[in-house]
Each structure stands twice: as structure tokens, then as C-alpha cells.
Structure 1
Amino acid sequence: MTVQHDPSVYERIQAGEQFQELRRRYRSWAFPMTIAFLVWYLLYVVLSGFARDFMGTKLFGNINVALVFGVLQFVSTFLIAWAYSRHAAAKLDPIADELRDETKSADEVGEGAK
């Protein structure tokens, strides 16, 4: 048995204040963080291409600035993923759970009417 979802339920939820708040919270975190990461990444690329002497500066042993910056790219990626998971758990998931429950109950009411 396939459950048919009434599209008007999703349109109503999407137009609702809670969904708009969810989108606002997501975008207010994701867009600035994406821009910050891209700037950080492009800084690494530009410095690697145009500031070779600086990037080749040895810090200790055979470890130079370029290697440290490269490793920091991985570190920053994992830190952003960790920070996003905390942000989502605290700010996004509670609203998303409410919206999911609202959708389920609206679908159940719709099924009862059939």
C-alpha cells in the first residue's frame, strides 16, 4: 500500500512561520560559514601560487608554512562539520522535529478522510 501525500500539506507548512524560521536559521549559519571557508581556501591557493617564498618558509625541520596551511584546511573542515552538527542539534532539529510531526499528523488526518 502506497501512502499518497497531499501536496497542500507541504505547501502550507512551507509557507508557515516555523518553516521560514528554520530556513532563516539554516541560512544565517550556512552562508557565512561557506563564505568564510571559501575565503580561507582561496587564500591558501593564492598564497601557494603567488607567495611561494612565504609558503616555502621552513618552520621546523622539513615542515613549511604551506604544509601547515594544508593541514589546517583539513582541520578547519572537521571543525566546521562539528560546529554545524552542534548548531543543527540546538537550533534546527527542534523546529524540524515539530514540522515533521505536524506533517505526519496532517497526513494521518488526510488518510482518515479517504
Structure 2
Amino acid sequence: MTSDISPHDPNVAAARHDPVYDELHASPEFAELKRRYRGFAFPATAAFLAWYLTYVVLSMWATGFMSTKVVGNINVALVLGLLQFATTFLLAWLYSSYSTKKLDPLARELDERFVSLAGKASHGRSEH
């Protein structure tokens, strides 16, 4: 799949040096949005990677424990492996909920401000 956006496109280059974006990027609200995102994403990623690596380590070096039967032919390895899927879906749901409550309102506010400032800036340029 290819993207229609080329880094050599003059519009993309202009967007990288947009004074309206630069102003918003420097705002305390943008810094807060980044802080909130990182406050969820970094710990959640670290926790999930630790959980995943624990599973891998147990599979490699604790084969006796992992082969312990839980019910019938279902062993600890299968249960923990299935819990990896459950954890993934739980994490996606938690992020969606967190984003809806904490990130989206601030992102919408910044987007509205960007549109407003960009509109004013384009009117100023067209009058010259």
C-alpha cells in the first residue's frame, strides 16, 4: 500500500514550517496532551512487554511449570498464552476509554484552535 503523501510535496514541506502549528506545538495544552498520552502509553507498553517476556522466559526456562496440567490436557502454557490475547484486548479497551475521556477532548480543543488560527492566517495571506 502506498501513501499519496510525498515528503517532497511542497504542501507537506510547508506544513512542517507552519507558524500556526508551531504556535500550537509550543502551547501548554499541547504539552499536556503529550504528557497524558505518554502517561498511559509508556507504562502500558512496559507492563505488556514485561508480561509478554515473562511468558517467553517461562516457556524457555520453566518448562516443568508451563507443562503443568490445569484441567484435562490444558496446561499452564496454554492458559497463559490465551491470557496474552485477553490482555491485548483489555489493553486496547482501556486505551480507548482513556483516550475518549482524557485525550480526545483536549485534542478536539487543539484542533478547533488550529482550524481557527489557520483560517485567520490564510485570510491574512490572501489580503496581501
TM-score bucket (shorter structure): over 0.9
1:95 Cα offset (Å): 0.3
**1:97 is aligned to 2:108:** yes
Give the counterpart letter for 1:21 in structure 2: E
Question: RMSD over aligned Cα, in angstroms?
Answer: 1.3
Alignment of 1:16-95 (within 5 A): 16-95=27-106
Gaps of 5+ in 2: 1-10
**Aligned mates of 1:14, 1:76 — CA distance in 2:** 34
TM-score with structure 1 length normalisation? 0.94
Structure 1 segments of 4 or more deviating over 4 A? Answer: none
Number of paired residues? 112
TM-score with structure 2 length normalisation? 0.84
Gaps of 5+ in 1: none
Give the counterpart letter for 1:79 in structure 2: L
Using CA pairs below 8 Å that are at least 6 residues apart, which structure has the higher relative contact order? 1
Q: Percent identity?
A: 51
Match of 2:122 among 101, 105, 111: 111
